[in-house]
Structure 1
Amino acid sequence: MEGYMTIKQTAEEWGVTPRRIQVLCVEGRIEGATKFGRDWAIPTDAIKPVDKRITTGKYKNWRKRKNSIRMT
């Protein structure tokens, strides 16, 4: 289809994994993405959404810290 990209093409263009693109489509974070059967069609002019995942390291090893607090 003209004017649309596949998940694989979008992943290569944006530098992320195809699975991440699928998640963004399911969450509705890619504007204009539509589902045709089991495949997604993403507009060629779609803008990559901002990554909202936490990357500060604040939650790194949180289970270990939580367990060590309980034991003392």
Structure 2
Amino acid sequence: MDYISAKEVAVKWAITRRRVQVLCEEGRIQGAFKVSDVWVIPKDAEKPADKRKIKKYANE
């Protein structure tokens, strides 16, 4: 299996490297693991769904 870095995943998914690291820390990226201080992620890993909630305003 091929692995890529958090930086490469960030570019691929159009998100920040820090966000990728947080997703790894939360266990939301299947197969990701840490080697020393570097997260390695399977090349074919899928981007997890965004769990943030959309705010609804009273004016809408």
TM-score (norm: length of structure 2): 0.87
Question: 1:10 deviation in Å?
Answer: 0.1
The runs of 5 or more residues in structure 2 that have no matched partner are none
1:24 corresponds to 2:23: yes
Q: Provide the identity percentage.
A: 53
Question: Greater CA radius of gyration, 1 or 2?
Answer: 1
Misfit runs of 4+, over 3 Å: none
Relative contact order, higher structure (CA 8 A, sep 6+): 2
Matched with 2:45 is 46
Rounded Cα–Cα distance in structure 2 between residues aligned with 1:12 and 1:3: 17
RMSD: 1.5
- The answer to which structure has the higher strand fraction is 2
> How many aligned residue pairs are there?
57
Q: Unaligned stretches of 5+ in structure 1?
A: 60-72
Greater per-residue helix proportion:
1
